[in-house]
């Protein structure tokens, strides 16, 4: 079987690794001139790490993780966790995104990756799919996977009328810096005033990563550093936020990433007989649950299992979609409750409800 994957983000690369272990010939088409990893660091939860284990990349990926057992702090640094949950419900491995993507690209096989290759469309017929590229060439395959992120060209053709949308007023600023004298424990996650969240934490390779998020944020008008500092001030009762403020002040403007958060509306379908969406292309989520990438990695497992079990590719894609759509309905329900949380205690409760579900019932559903 020949499979073309559009996109070499964390999900496309994972799909490349997994489908090769099934014996498929894989071509990963990436529009950028390099393997990109937008963002500083990413929290990868145990359910996704198990997927990497299953497809042989777990050891290398786990080696770059720093275990983060999150507490939820108010603006004055009073910490809480919801009673009745295990420490696993608060724990993930924090990884530097660029290093993670390089490891995954090596595991997927560099010779299977074609850079500067933008997928612009496809044509399906009874025998396969022709994938059209921006340079005028095309690739013939049995299956096209759209793992091309929130602005997915594959989704735009497969499910017209569902472009990425702005999560109104939701902005995030983040960066990674060499660690200095910041307190060892970090301040993730502080839930401050005016719907602001953020903090810093130490990570792989002597680095410290910081982020500042705000729901219902006024439109940013100043420099990235100025805007991040304005929001970080909402998490600084009694000096709790001073180390974060110092860190932001010392971060060069061009190191700071600012995003208006985007999301993908719920899609009526994710597949046709020869095309499947996965990762952010299918379900780009607001990042306040810190798990969009983790969940996308599980999409890969579900697709592979469906392909192994089904009598035909078309039947496998039906099974894949049948599993994923209700799964993400539940993700949205739990994530929306986190978004509505008014303070650190409520945030801790709803985040733990989400992660507990994801690591238990959700993971079991992805492994059936």
Ligand X SMILES: Cc1cc2nc3c(=O)[nH]c(=O)nc-3n(C[C@H](O)[C@H](O)[C@H](O)COP(=O)(O)OP(=O)(O)OC[C@H]3O[C@@H](n4cnc5c(N)ncnc54)[C@H](O)[C@@H]3O)c2cc1C
Closer to ligand X at the Cβ: 12 or 243? 12
Task: Report the residue closest to ligand X, judged by CB.
Answer: 9
Tell me the closest approach of the beta carbon of residue 324 to ligand X, in angstroms.
Answer: 13
Closer to ligand X at the Cβ: 310 or 360? 360
Site residues for ligand X per CB under 6 A: 6-12, 29-32, 36, 39, 42-43, 118-119, 147-149, 153, 172, 174, 259, 279-280, 287, 290-294, 296
Tell me the closest approach of the beta carbon of residue 151 to ligand X, in angstroms.
Answer: 6
Tell me the closest approach of the beta carbon of residue 297 to ligand X, in angstroms.
Answer: 8
Tell me the closest approach of the beta carbon of residue 53 to ligand X, in angstroms.
Answer: 17
Tell me the closest approach of the beta carbon of residue 340 to ligand X, in angstroms.
Answer: 19
Closer to ligand X at the Cβ: 310 or 357? 357
Closer to ligand X at the Cβ: 78 or 325? 325
Closer to ligand X at the Cβ: 241 or 293? 293
Closer to ligand X at the Cβ: 174 or 324? 174
Tell me the closest approach of the beta carbon of residue 212 to ligand X, in angstroms.
Answer: 10
Tell me the closest approach of the beta carbon of residue 346 to ligand X, in angstroms.
Answer: 20
Secondary structure in 3-state letters for the chain? CEEEEECCCHHHHHHHHHHHHCCCEEEEECCCCCCCCCCCEEEECHHHHHHHHHCCCHHHHHHCCEEEECCEECCCCCEECCCCCCHHHHEEEEEEHHHHHHHHHHHHCHHHEECCCCEEEEEEECCEEEEEECCCCEEEECEEEECCCCCCHHHHHHCCCCCCEEEEEEEEEEEEEECCCCCCCCCCCEECCCCEEEEEEEECCCEEEEEEEECCCCCCCCCHHHHHHHHHHHHCHHHCCHHHHHHHHHCCHHHCEEEEEEECCCCCCCECCCEEECCHHHHCCCHHHCCHHHHHHHHHHHHHHHHHHCCCHHHHHHHHHHHHHHHHHHHHHHHHHHHHCCCHHHHHHHHHHHHHHHHHHHHHHHCC
Closer to ligand X at the Cβ: 29 or 276? 29
């Amino acid at each position: 079987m020949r499979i073309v994957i559009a996109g070499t983000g964390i999900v496309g690369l994972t799909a490349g690794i997994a489908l090769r272990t099934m014996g498929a010939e894989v071509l990963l088409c990436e529009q950028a001139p390099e393997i990109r990893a937008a963002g500083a660091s990413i929290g990868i939860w145990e359910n996704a790490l198990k997927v990497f284990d299953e497809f042989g990349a777990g050891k290398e990926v786990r080696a770059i993780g720093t275990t983060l057992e999150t507490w939820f702090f108010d603006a004055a640094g009073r910490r809480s966790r919801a009673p009745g949950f295990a420490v696993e419900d608060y724990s993930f491995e924090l990884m530097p995104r660029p290093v993670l993507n390089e490891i995954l690209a090596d595991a997927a096989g560099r010779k299977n990756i074609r850079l500067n290759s933008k997928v612009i469309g496809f044509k399906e017929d009874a025998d396969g799919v022709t994938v059209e590229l921006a340079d005028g060439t095309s690739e013939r395959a049995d299956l096209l996977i759209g793992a091309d992120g929130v602005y997915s060209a594959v989704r735009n053709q497969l499910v017209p009328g569902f472009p990425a949308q702005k999560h109104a007023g939701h902005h995030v600023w983040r960066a990674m810096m060499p660690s200095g004298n910041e307190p060892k424990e970090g301040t993730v996650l502080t839930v401050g005033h005016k719907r602001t969240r953020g903090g810093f934490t130490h990570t792989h390779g002597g680095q410290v990563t910081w982020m500042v998020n705000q729901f219902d944020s006024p439109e940013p008008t100043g420099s990235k550093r100025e805007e991040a500092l304005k929001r970080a001030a909402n998490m600084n009762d009694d000096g709790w936020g001073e180390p974060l403020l110092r860190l932001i002040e010392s971060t060069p403007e061009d190191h700071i990433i600012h995003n208006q958060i985007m999301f993908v509306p719920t899609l009526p379908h994710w597949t046709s007989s020869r095309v499947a969406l996965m990762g952010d292309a299918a379900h780009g989520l607001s990042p306040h649950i810190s798990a969009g990438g983790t969940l996308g990695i599980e999409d890969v497992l579900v697709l592979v299992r469906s392909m192994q079990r089904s009598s035909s590719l078309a039947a496998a894609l039906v099974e894949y979609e049948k599993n994923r759509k209700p799964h993400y309905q539940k993700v949205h329900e739990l994530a929306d409750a986190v978004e509505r949380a008014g303070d650190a205690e409520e945030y801790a409760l709803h985040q733990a409800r989400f992660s507990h579900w994801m690591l238990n019932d959700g993971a079991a559903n992805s492994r059936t």
